[in-house]
Structure formats: C-alpha cells, structure tokens
A and B are shown apart, each in its own frame.
Chain A
C-alpha cells in the first residue's frame, strides 16, 4: 500500500463548547476516489473546511504529501495542490464562463500581480481554458454570463474551476445537491472523467452515486470516522448500518 496523499491524524475541531470533529482519522490514497458519508450534522462540511484552510483544526494534524497543511490559509493550501468546490455554488456570477475559468487558470501560472501583459494574449492560459471548457462541456457557453447558466451548468463550472489549478487532490462538496436524475448521471460521468489521474475526496448524499463512484468510503458520525472501506465493506458493516444506513432504511 502506498503512502496516503492526504492524511488526517487525530483531528479535533470545536467551536466554543461544541465539538464538531472529535478525533477524526482518515487516510486518502493517491489516485483513489474517496467518499465521506454520514448523517446530517456529522461534520462533513467542517471536515472539508479544515482540509481546505477555511478553518484551522483545534488539535491534530492534516498532512498533504506528508507536509502539514492544518491551519494554513486557503490560498496556501491551494498552492500546495489541494483544490475544492463548494456545496453552495461559488462562482463569479457577473463575468463570462470563460472569464471564470481564466481566473482559475491564471493563478496556476502565477499571474497574480501582472499588469504589463495582455490577458487576451496569454496563449497557454487561454488554451487551457478552452481545454477545460471542453472537459466540462461548456464550450458553446463560453461567453455567457455565469449567472445566466442553468444550475447544473453552474455546478459543472464550479468543478471546472476546482480543476483549473491542476490539483493533485480535489475536494468536491455535494456536487450533485439539488440535481435531477439526468443531471446527477451527467455530473457523475463528468467527475469520473476529470478525476482520472487525480485523487478525489467527495461528500455526497446521493447513495447510489457514492457507491458507484467511490473506491473507498469513510463514514463520519458525530465528528468521528467510524469506518473506512470498500463499498462492499461499508454495506456490510454493522456499526454503519446502525448509525446511518439503518436509519434511512427504517
């Protein structure tokens, strides 16, 4: 077994007296699609916020490629190779789809404080944007304002922006939330395609998606990872059934 690319070791997070994450341990292996499931309020989003730099852990370590990223700022975490999408669509609504992706791609090329070059002439950047547009199947919507996209198109754009920095690890926070069946199937296919050769950590409520997409699944209940394993393991795990799946079956 290879070393984990993302590793959470005894991570705690509390907000005042509320302990949201208690002693979470999780190893995500390079190249796998890893899903985190758990009942509402289990702390899945908080876990993502901790990994991506939104919050700093109260205790414990978060390692990316063996280096500590717990407590780093979001921008720094992104530069180390971990990018995330958001549960609530988080794009640049007032500019075009092309511009949204270009903003995401420029950072990778370290174009932040550059005011002596024309953005239209950044060939490498613009080619990558076109490439991304193709991948998320929005090529013919390139010049549309992002705010005018349909919901599932916005979710695709969100994923495209996450992908733009060419990260090793991608965190997708409920990418299918609020989608119809067709849209969910479409997005699942998209995620499969774009995470080829990368590592994916995904939070998702749609169990059919989770079980078909993920190589391994971790179950988070009350801030603790109670089980990690293949979909079959999880399906057969008694504790999981009791804590989570059983609750839904009942």
Chain B
C-alpha cells in the first residue's frame, strides 16, 4: 500500500489547514473530535492490543482533566508548567493512577477485570462529589489558559493547534510503541497470557505497565479537554464517558491501529451534528453501534482494511460499484427509519399528548410538512421507504452472489 503515507500526509495537511476552512463552531467540534480520537486510541491500546476491556477509562481521563486544571491554577494562576506543556501533568497523573489501578485490576482477566475497572471508576466518581477541595463540587474547578512561548492561547485556533499537536504526537508515539518489543508482547498478552508466563514473562507486571501507559494517554486527552473548556467538573468521571469510549472504539475497529481514533472522531462529529437536529440522537448512536457490531464486527476501519487486504485483482471497480449501490439502498432504508423514529418521537412526546383533546389529534410537523397522525400516509411513507430500502439491498446482495457463483 504505497498510498498510505500519502493519505496520511494529506490528512495531516488538511488538519493543519482546517482553521481557515471551517466555521468557529465546526472548529470547536474538531477540537472535541481530536480529544475523543486520542482518548479512544488510549483505550484501544488496552482493549484492542492487550485484550483488556476496561469499563472505567473515564477515571483516567477525568484525573488528567482535573490535574491539568489544578496545574493551570498553581502558583496563583501562573501555572505549574507553560501552557503547551500542561498535558504532561495530565499524562503523569494518568500514568500514576493507572499504575495503582492497573496493579489491582490486572490481577484478574476478562469479565472480572472489566468489573474491577468499572468499580474503581465508580468509586472515584462517588468520592469526587464529596471531595470539594479537589473536584470543586457541583460547580467544578475553572481556570484560565496563560499565554506562553509568545502564543496567546486565547483564541480557538490556538487551542485547536495545541490539541492537534498533542493528539498527533501521542498517536505517533502509540504507533512507535506498537513496533517495540513491549508493543509486540502486548499482542501476546491479548492472544495468550498463559503461554507468555510459560515463556518466562511476568504477565502481571506487563499488564500493569500497559494499563498505566493507556491511562497516561487517557490522562493527556483529559488534560486537553479541560484546557479547552478552561474547567473541569466531576461529570467527566461519569460512567457514560467510559461507555462512550468503548462504543466509539468498537465502531471504529478496536483491533486496527487507527480504528479507535476514527471511531472517536466520527461519532463525536455525529453527535455534534445530530444533537442540534434531533432529541433522540443517542438512540441513533445506539442503533449505529448495534448495526456495526452485527454487520461489521471488525468495525468501520477494520472492515475497510480487511476488504483492501483481500480485494480481488479484477473486480475492484465492480465491488466498489456494488458497495455504492448497497449504500444507496441503505440510505433509502435509513431515511424510512429516521422518518418513523422522528414521527414516533413527536407522537409520543408529552408536549404532543398535552395538545390532544378528545377526538382531536393535531397534525405533526415533520420535514416541513404537516402529517395527520391518524391517516395512513405518514406510516406508509416511513415503513414503505424502510421496506423498499431493505428489499433493494437484498436484491443487490442476491445479484452479487449470483454473479460470483457464475464466475466460479
């Protein structure tokens, strides 16, 4: 794959040019996407490469976030380190807390490991609301970014570049890590820890160390987050943050190197776009996760890599055509599903029901058209589009299968 470095270079160039290409709110979303990407990469090291599914990674993200805020406030607001180096504080705190938590949790594997990480994160979350001095209670802890190295860090563009540099640096380091002896042993830990022990490795120490490294990068991501919003609140320790990073990483593909990053970025972007458009955007996020797990269990990037690896020499254009056709049909089905979900959401909302008086069902406005809920039309449109899309996909699949059979 000669074009991989080129693609990478183009992506980095695009990321550098982004502040001049997109609006302020989109740039803000881009900062969030970068942070989510880095956080997911930290999780991916532990889950995808070392095979340890953590359900409590919010803890290390949050610890990094709070550490960075306190470091910014240190010395009467002068800061412990110059602003560009503050993520190091988050990383160091993440590393240390990861060593402690990793020591205990990696004593067990599988479900038990996951449960310990979950318990530790919940413990921290429960403690945080009581430790006002450290976590600031309901209000949280706020701070200000100080100018450093001739950079103001007041503008969003400055913050964007700070986040971009750190994210790229960390992802680069994670890539290099995967090429080192320890990085290779990480895979062995996932594949067969028992065998590693009989080869003479100390698997508990290895697991603890990899857990700590993962927590360190999560801490850096947390620090970037609190530096971005100039505050930290114990909400960052909540379990939905832990869940989101699991879902994002699996949607992207937890076993391929950039999978978690792409998953984190894509889903954050998805949330940014849809949370303004619809109230049930979390439902859509859940549906996407279920669909990806059912039909693309390797994740979006994982599946792409697999396809590229096993592409047949002659049929590239054809299979690309079939894929596009499938996507088109799926878009029809998705339109139907979205229509139904949105219509139902409005129909079932308490506002609507409050407006219903005896025998009088007001029309529901959706997609700049008023639909009468008791008529067949809106239901027919939704179900029809959905059914049509699915039927088309099935037809395309059958055609492709027939053609392959004819070739073989």
Please give the residue numbers on chain A whose beta carbons come within 8 Å of chain B beta carbons, in ascending order: 52-53, 73-76, 78-79, 83-84, 86, 90-95, 99, 102-104, 106-108, 111-120, 122, 161, 164-165
**Cβ A78 vs Cβ B177 within 8 A:** no
What separation, in Å, do the CA atoms of A142 and B184 have in the docked complex?
Answer: 16
Task: Enumerate chain A residues within 8 angstroms of B176, measured Cβ to Cβ.
Answer: 118
Among B162-205, those with CB < 8 Å from A are: 176-177, 179-185, 187-188, 190-192, 194-203, 205
**Given A90-B192, A95-B191, A75 and B202 touching (CB < 8 A)?**
yes
**Cβ A164 vs Cβ B199 within 8 A:** yes
**Cβ A104 vs Cβ B199 within 8 A:** yes
Considering only CB atoms, which chain B residue lies closest to A75 in the complex?
Answer: B200
**Cβ B198 vs Cβ A114 within 8 A:** no
What separation, in Å, do the CA atoms of A164 and B201 have in the docked complex?
Answer: 13
**Cβ B201 vs Cβ A75 within 8 A:** yes
B51 to chain A, nearest CB (A): 9
**Cβ B200 vs Cβ A92 within 8 A:** no
Please give the residue numbers on chain B whose beta carbons come within 8 Å of chain A beta carbons, in ascending order: 176-177, 179-185, 187-188, 190-192, 194-203, 205-206, 209
**Cβ B200 vs Cβ A78 within 8 A:** yes
What are 21 contact pairs spanning A and B, CB under 8 A?
Answer: A52-B198, A73-B197, A75-B198, A75-B201, A76-B200, A78-B199, A84-B198, A92-B191, A92-B195, A93-B192, A94-B190, A95-B191, A106-B184, A107-B199, A108-B200, A112-B201, A112-B202, A114-B181, A115-B182, A119-B184, A122-B181
**Cβ B198 vs Cβ A111 within 8 A:** no
What separation, in Å, do the CA atoms of A104 and B197 have in the docked complex?
Answer: 10
**Cβ B177 vs Cβ A115 within 8 A:** yes
**Cβ B206 vs Cβ A103 within 8 A:** no
B226 to chain A, nearest CB (A): 27
Q: What is the predominant secondary structure among interface residues of chain B facing chain A?
A: helix
What separation, in Å, do the CA atoms of A76 and B200 have in the docked complex?
Answer: 6
What separation, in Å, do the CA atoms of A89 and B188 have in the docked complex?
Answer: 15
A18 to chain B, nearest CB (A): 23
What separation, in Å, do the CA atoms of A106 and B196 have in the docked complex?
Answer: 11
**Cβ A95 vs Cβ B187 within 8 A:** yes
Considering only CB atoms, which chain A residue lies closest to B213 in the complex?
Answer: A115
Considering only CB atoms, which chain B residue lies closest to A109 in the complex?
Answer: B181
**Cβ A78 vs Cβ B184 within 8 A:** no
A162 to chain B, nearest CB (A): 9
**Given A115-B182, A119-B183, A78 and B190 touching (CB < 8 A)?**
no
Name 10 extra pairs, CB < 8 A, besides A52-B198, A78-B198, A115-B181: A73-B197, A92-B188, A92-B195, A99-B187, A112-B181, A112-B202, A112-B205, A115-B182, A118-B179, A161-B199
**Cβ A103 vs Cβ B179 within 8 A:** no
**Cβ B200 vs Cβ A165 within 8 A:** yes
What separation, in Å, do the CA atoms of A165 and B188 have in the docked complex?
Answer: 16
What separation, in Å, do the CA atoms of A106 and B176 have in the docked complex?
Answer: 18
B211 to chain A, nearest CB (A): 13
What separation, in Å, do the CA atoms of A161 and B196 have in the docked complex?
Answer: 10
Task: Enumerate chain A residues within 8 angstroms of B196, measured Cβ to Cβ.
Answer: 103
**Cβ A99 vs Cβ B206 within 8 A:** no
**Given A118-B180, A119-B179, A120-B179, A112 and B185 touching (CB < 8 A)?**
yes
What separation, in Å, do the CA atoms of A122 and B187 have in the docked complex?
Answer: 18
Task: Enumerate chain B residues within 8 angstroms of A78, measured Cβ to Cβ.
Answer: 198-200
**Given A73-B197, A90-B195, A99 and B182 touching (CB < 8 A)?**
no
Considering only CB atoms, which chain B residue lies closest to A120 in the complex?
Answer: B179
What separation, in Å, do the CA atoms of A118 and B192 have in the docked complex?
Answer: 22
Considering only CB atoms, which chain A residue lies closest to B200 in the complex?
Answer: A78
B47 to chain A, nearest CB (A): 14
Interface hub of A73, A93, A104 (most chain B Cβ within 10 A): A104
Considering only CB atoms, which chain B residue lies closest to A107 in the complex?
Answer: B200
Task: Enumerate chain B residues within 8 angstroms of A104, measured Cβ to Cβ.
Answer: 199
Task: Enumerate chain B residues within 8 angstroms of A95, measured Cβ to Cβ.
Answer: 187-188, 191
Task: Enumerate chain B residues within 8 angstroms of A52, measured Cβ to Cβ.
Answer: 198
What separation, in Å, do the CA atoms of A118 and B188 have in the docked complex?
Answer: 17
**Cβ A103 vs Cβ B185 within 8 A:** yes
